[in-house]
Structure 1
Amino acid sequence: MDSLDSLVFLSARRLVSRRPLPAVPARLFPVLFRAAFLDGRPLVLRDLVARWPFPELDFQRILGRREPLRDGPSKLCVQSVLLAVVEQLRRALEGPGRHSSRCRLRMLDVTGLRDDDVGRAPAGMSVWSGTVALAKACLELSKLQRELQRAGFGNAAPPSIDVRADLFVSAASFGVVWDALRVGNSTLLRLRCRELQAEELSPAGIVNLLESLEPSGLRRVELRFNNLGLQGLSAVLPRLARFPELRSLRLPYSNVDVRREAAPGIRCLAMELGKLQGLRELNLGSSRLSGSLGDVLCELQAPLESLELTFCSLLPSDLSFLCRSPHAPALKRLDLSGHDFSRGLLRPLRQLLEEALPSLLHLDLMECHLGDSQLESLLASLRRCSRLRSLGLFGNSVSRAGLGTLVRETAALPELSLVVYPIPTDCYGQGMDPSQASEEHLDRECLGALGTELERLLESSGRAGAVWTCDPYGHAGLDFFSL
């Protein structure tokens, strides 16, 4: 924000500190909205929406991608915007000739309000409750519209408003969200889904949701904790081909185990994935894919750019397949956490990293049984990943000396800005296996000295601005769509 922007924003903050707002030029509405949102002024937000002079109101474009949502906007601010939209449509329904409106809004974009990243969601509002609030607003207006039509009023319906949102649906909220989607284009407040996350639903429930969504605009589907298995996936995946803009499919904890599945089932899974021509990100975390990764990915039409295979019990043949595949040189993100690289997987991992050198930005190898010798063996390949931005190594058995080697050897990587390192074995009780240890076994004095030592090493290596942390949850990784 330059000095002129700062002056305008400070003036906007003073203006929204009192009501009613004076008449202002249309070009000032976005900065007034931002000031009112950040300062927690829901009544001013309602006034602004009632007079919104543009066809679109995009939260993230006005508020910014991260910083604005970190500092205290409340659930009330989000709700006030939604209530203002509902009120505009209600007034227009009840008396198009009696209630003139200066609101020109036709698209409300509330995507990006997430609480699975650090500091993204407004205080007091989860993404789950936000989805329910949107669904209830759609149903309320639909009910009012039907009642007025039955009474002979509201035949000249006002222009509708589309709400573009990321929908988060659980077993508890499925009913109300599905009802809101089913009213579709017949209501004045219409849900348009950009990303769908569904948890703890049956295959039939997921199918119902997918069939109720508009085909255009959906870029991600994430199905987690649904215990689908291959049979459930065979019912769900065919419904995804109708979404031409789908780029990301995340299926963690889907309970796929190739040991229990016949070859025709695996071929069916591969064929359905192959129909998703725009797919670039795939997460199959916690599925048991031992020896079958090639069979699962063989029908994909284009190289993947993000692949997450955490705790998938992969074999050397699976990594060898990736090395030979067109995916390797296209990968920007690779997550192989939860595999034992202390044995036969280390060599194919090094080969895979060599193939991914041109593109790899993010690499996660957490809880992979890496000791000092294995890490040192990997460093020859890691040093050549010149575009690497983040590296996750938490949960491995590395010593303080091994960690120091890691700092020195990666100093030449110009873009490496985040490393989640393992707590060294030296910082636990004598002879204690870190995988068996708890926080009570941790030597806090040793850990504090380690932090000081790392700061010195990073500074001497010219990397003082890089973040090195042993907290695997304190720094959210970049989303695929931000790569």
Structure 2
Amino acid sequence: MWSLRFISAEALVSRPRVAQQSLDGVACNIYPLLFKASYLLEQAEVIRVLLEHWPLEEFRLGALLRPNADHPGDLRDRACRACLEACVRGLADHALRSGARRRLEVADLTGIRDVQVQGCPCGKALGRWGRTELLARTCCELQALPRAARRPVEVLADIFVTGGNFEVVVRALGPASPGPLRVRCLSLRADSLRPGQLLRVLRLAGPSELRRLEVVHNVRLHAGHVRELLAQVGFPRLVALTLPAKALDAPPAGSPAARGEAAPLTCIARELSHMTQLTELSVAFSTLTGKVQKLLGPLKTPLRVLDLANCSLNRADMAFLADCAHAAHLEVLDLSGQWALPGGPVSLHVLPAAGPGRAAAEGPDPGGVRHRGPPRGRAGPGPERLPRLRELRFLGNPLSARALRRLFAFPVPKDCYPEGSAYPQDELAMSEFDQQKYDVIAEDLRAVLRRAGREDVRVSTPLSGSFDPDIQETSNELGAFLLQAFRTALENFSKALKQME
């Protein structure tokens, strides 16, 4: 239920001209209420004026849009283009104000959640990439204006850098004497950049303050690059690190990185161990067969989130995951795509059974790595292994109903497909399964969860993937990059054929 204060604020901002004329008589503590009401009604003009005259020392977007006593609605999943553009323009107007009329010191633009369907009246979103370009261009415009020497407004932001906006972001971050707005990056996502470009933008972004770093598609790194990046830049406050495909694979033979004094993976593990706040690590699609202990063993901070999808793990790797110090703290674990190892799918006895935190094996031994086979002749679960696990991803692995009862994941069991079905499956084959048999197994698994007192666990069968706002926003740029890469590969192939002739 809305408070009378919020209803009054909504009535005021619904008449933009009256609201703008009335601001001089509005108490400072009413501004946050007026802002949320303006955001709800998509009154961009009022939002810009509110920010220009903001009377408080801080403006925190996520906190202003979350539920409160006056309005229980959560507006953080509205990345409304009109409202966010008004916020940035209002900040620029405020930064140009002089003397005592300028109070704002910190503007936190983080906290927005990008979702597929927008709840704002216009329905038009401004994604993370667009927000980055808007803020960067605004900073560049302000840098070109003459101004008196005064402390800039610090803007906390989640930055998304690609080849398409790299130059403007570098200009915005680059000057030694910042303009009226000084950007501080709390998280950074990098896509479609060369290694040198990545290193440059990271140095400018203030790595000492960076909390989350995602280096994803079309950033072609190998273990030598990652070693140099971590050693040269350093991320003392980093909480989450995502590396692109093959980023931990060995450098090409004969390259300077391959001739280093120590193995790149050992150096990377050492640098990761210096990150005392690191709790989330994603290294999917790197070949780590038999190397998981070398990578994760030196870490001094227990991981909560670990993504090892398609890393070609072996049984020694799985045994380490079951017995290492991280096991007691893991909340999200991704072991997708491990079915194609020699000898068949990875042994599942080290994974949780009969609910989060259970495994049919001996007790954990954080101090060592010992591979133990599952106890024979015992059907019940063993001691706790992963007590905090709430999400286990095991996609792309052909599992039987028996294995699913132990994992509590929920892909379509291989029992439901025709005998002899090949893996991996194409999209058509995935849809051709015995629905009746699937429903019986699904209900059986739900019953297991109920008996375990874990009805809070949600299981699903994502056959078609999920919405990725970042990919959707930069799909054209990503597609162009892939086409260019394909063209280059064809040209190299053609040259090789001519040389053979």
Band the TM-score falls in, shorter-chain normalisation: 0.7 to 0.9
Separation (CA, whole Å) in 2 of partners of 1:387 and 1:86:
45
Structure 1 residues 123 and 393: alpha-carbon distance in aligned structure 2, compared to 1, 3 A threshold: farther
Do structure 1's residue 422 and structure 2's residue 421 form an aligned pair?
Answer: no
1:32-74 Cα offsets, whole Å, 9 max, x none, are 211211221101111211221211111110112894133x552
Letter of the structure 2 residue corresponding to residue 36 of structure 1: S
Partner of 2:41: 39
Separation (CA, whole Å) in 2 of partners of 1:349 and 1:181:
45
Of the structure 1 ranges 210-219 and 433-442, higher mean CA displacement relative to structure 2 is found in: 433-442
1:289-317 Cα offsets, whole Å, 9 max, x none, are 11122222343233333221111111222
Contact kept in structure 1, 2:269 and 2:298, CA below 8 Å: yes
Separation (CA, whole Å) in 2 of partners of 1:357 and 1:422:
28
Do structure 1's residue 205 and structure 2's residue 173 form an aligned pair?
Answer: no
Separation (CA, whole Å) in 2 of partners of 1:86 and 1:306:
38
Contact kept in structure 1, 2:328 and 2:387, CA below 8 Å: no
Instruction: Pick from 219, 231, 250 the counterpart of residue 238 of structure 1.
Output: 231
Structure 1 residue 274: Cα displacement: 2.7
Letter of the structure 2 residue corresponding to residue 88 of structure 1: H
User: Equivalent residue of 2:349, what SS?
Assistant: helix
Structure 1 residue 198: Cα displacement: 0.9
Separation (CA, whole Å) in 2 of partners of 1:236 and 1:259:
14
Partner of 1:190: 182
User: RMSD of the TM alignment (CA)?
Assistant: 4.1
Letter of the structure 1 residue corresponding to residue 267 of structure 2: C
Do structure 1's residue 125 and structure 2's residue 126 form an aligned pair?
Answer: yes
Task: Say which structure is richer in helix.
Answer: 1
Do structure 1's residue 286 and structure 2's residue 285 form an aligned pair?
Answer: yes
Separation (CA, whole Å) in 1 of partners of 2:352 and 2:286:
23
Q: Which has the higher contact order (CA 8 A, sep 6+)?
A: 2
Do structure 1's residue 217 and structure 2's residue 209 form an aligned pair?
Answer: yes
Instruction: Pick from 92, 95, 108 the counterpart of residue 89 of structure 1.
Output: 95
Structure 1 residues 394 and 132: alpha-carbon distance in aligned structure 2, compared to 1, 3 A threshold: same
Separation (CA, whole Å) in 2 of partners of 1:53 and 1:136:
25
Partner of 1:367: none
1:241-280 pair list within 5 angstroms: 241=234, 243-258=235-250, 264-280=263-279
Structure 1 residue 438: Cα displacement: 2.5
Task: State the identity as a percent.
Answer: 30
Structure 1 residues 344 and 133: alpha-carbon distance in aligned structure 2, compared to 1, 3 A threshold: closer
1:117-166 Cα offsets, whole Å, 9 max, x none, are 88699833121111011111111111113xxxxxxxx4x33442111001
1:250-279 Cα offsets, whole Å, 9 max, x none, are 113144324966763333222222332332
Structure 1 residue 17: Cα displacement: 0.8
Separation (CA, whole Å) in 1 of partners of 2:11 and 2:383:
52
User: Equivalent residue of 1:289, what SS?
Assistant: coil
Partner of 1:332: 331
Q: Structure 2 regions of 5+ residues with no counterpart?
A: 68-72, 253-257, 365-373, 469-501
Partner of 1:369: none
TM-score by length of 1: 0.74
Of the structure 1 ranges 345-354 and 209-218, higher mean CA displacement relative to structure 2 is found in: 345-354
Letter of the structure 1 residue corresponding to residue 439 of structure 2: L
Structure 1 residues 428 and 264: alpha-carbon distance in aligned structure 2, compared to 1, 3 A threshold: closer
Letter of the structure 1 residue corresponding to residue 85 of structure 2: Q
Partner of 2:10: 13
Separation (CA, whole Å) in 1 of partners of 2:333 and 2:384:
16
User: Equivalent residue of 1:44, what SS?
Assistant: helix
Partner of 2:167: 175
Partner of 1:380: 381
Report the count of equivalent residues: 426
Partner of 2:474: none
Structure 1 residues 43 and 175: alpha-carbon distance in aligned structure 2, compared to 1, 3 A threshold: same
Separation (CA, whole Å) in 2 of partners of 1:379 and 1:174:
56
Letter of the structure 1 residue corresponding to residue 188 of structure 2: L
Separation (CA, whole Å) in 2 of partners of 1:139 and 1:80:
17
Instruction: Pick from 436, 441, 462 the counterpart of residue 471 of structure 1.
Output: 462
Separation (CA, whole Å) in 2 of partners of 1:227 and 1:194:
23
Structure 1 residues 427 and 45: alpha-carbon distance in aligned structure 2, compared to 1, 3 A threshold: farther
Partner of 2:103: 104
Structure 1 residue 114: Cα displacement: 4.4
Partner of 1:390: 391
Partner of 1:364: none
Contact kept in structure 1, 2:236 and 2:274, CA below 8 Å: no
Contact kept in structure 2, 1:250 and 1:284, CA below 8 Å: yes
Instruction: Pick from 63, 66, 74 the counterpart of residue 64 of structure 1.
Output: 66
Partner of 2:312: 313
Partner of 2:488: none
User: Equivalent residue of 2:321, what SS?
Assistant: helix
TM-score by length of 2: 0.72
Structure 1 residues 25 and 205: alpha-carbon distance in aligned structure 2, compared to 1, 3 A threshold: same
Separation (CA, whole Å) in 2 of partners of 1:346 and 1:45:
54
User: Equivalent residue of 2:193, what SS?
Assistant: coil
User: Equivalent residue of 1:469, what SS?
Assistant: coil
Q: Structure 1 regions of 5+ residues with no counterpart?
A: 146-153, 359-372, 411-418, 477-483
Separation (CA, whole Å) in 1 of partners of 2:279 and 2:215:
16
Separation (CA, whole Å) in 1 of partners of 2:119 and 2:392:
22
Contact kept in structure 2, 1:395 and 1:423, CA below 8 Å: no
Separation (CA, whole Å) in 1 of partners of 2:209 and 2:332:
24
Structure 1 residues 431 and 186: alpha-carbon distance in aligned structure 2, compared to 1, 3 A threshold: closer
